[in-house]
Amino acid sequence: MLKLKSFAAAAFAVAAFTAVAHAGNAKPVKAVQQQELAQKNKALVLKAYQALFGDHDLTALDRYWAEAYIQHNPTMTDGRDSVKKLLESMGVANWPKQRVDFKRVIAEGDLVMTEVVQPKMGDMPETVIVDIFRVEGGKIAEHWDVMQPVPANPANKRPMY
């Protein structure tokens, strides 16, 4: 009986040691899926942003933005058609193509945040823009942003980006 108890204890110890040794190497399935989703959403947003704001391709709205797109910028209304009308009125299709200067990109779950620098254009100063996008069903479904012009004479010499 003593040998059986010792054998059972030893078997349990080996199983426990094996489980602990492998636990550090395995990520929970849900965490891996969230990370994969975040990376997929990040790739979608970067592609969409470059297509619309770098290549000035207005058809990107139909490919990457949800029809019922929710806009939190107080100067715009909801819907991808609202974005299209605004960009058309600004003449964006005639602007020269440019590579979007992504300074930071952070993705977590269905949210993707970008920080970009819009170069000086005409009378418009260089501007730092932070956008937050929510992705749903493979499309950009919601958007928040903050825009700040880069001052000509800042109080400190550190860049804003």
Q: What are 44-103's pLDDT values in tens digits? A: 999 999 999 999 999 999 999 999 999 999 999 999 999 999 999 989 888 889 999 999
Q: Please, are residues 80 and 65 in contact by the beta-carbon 8 Å criterion? A: yes
Could you list the beta-strand ranges (E) of the chain. Answer: 65-71, 102-108, 111-118, 127-136, 139-149
Identify the CA nearest to 65 among candidates 137, 4, 149. 137
- What's CA 151's distance to the chain center, in Å? 27
Residue 118 located in a structural domain: yes
How many domains are contained in the chain?
Answer: 1
For the chain, report the end-to-end CA distance as a whole number of angstroms: 71
CATH of the domain at 33: 3.10.450.50
Residue 4 located in a structural domain: no
- Please tell me the distance from the alpha carbon of residue 124 to that of residue 23, in angstroms, as a whole number: 54
- Percent of the chain surpassing pLDDT 90: 64
| Mean pLDDT across 28-32 | 81
Q: Tell me which residue range forms the domain holding 141.
A: 28-149
Residue 48 located in a structural domain: yes
Residue 58 located in a structural domain: yes
Mean pLDDT of the chain: 86
Residue 5 located in a structural domain: no
Q: What is the CA radius of gyration of the chain?
A: 25
Q: What are 126-142's pLDDT values in tens digits? A: 999 999 999 999 999 99
Q: What are 94-113's pLDDT values in tens digits? A: 888 999 999 999 999 999 99
Q: Please, are residues 100 and 115 in contact by the beta-carbon 8 Å criterion? A: no
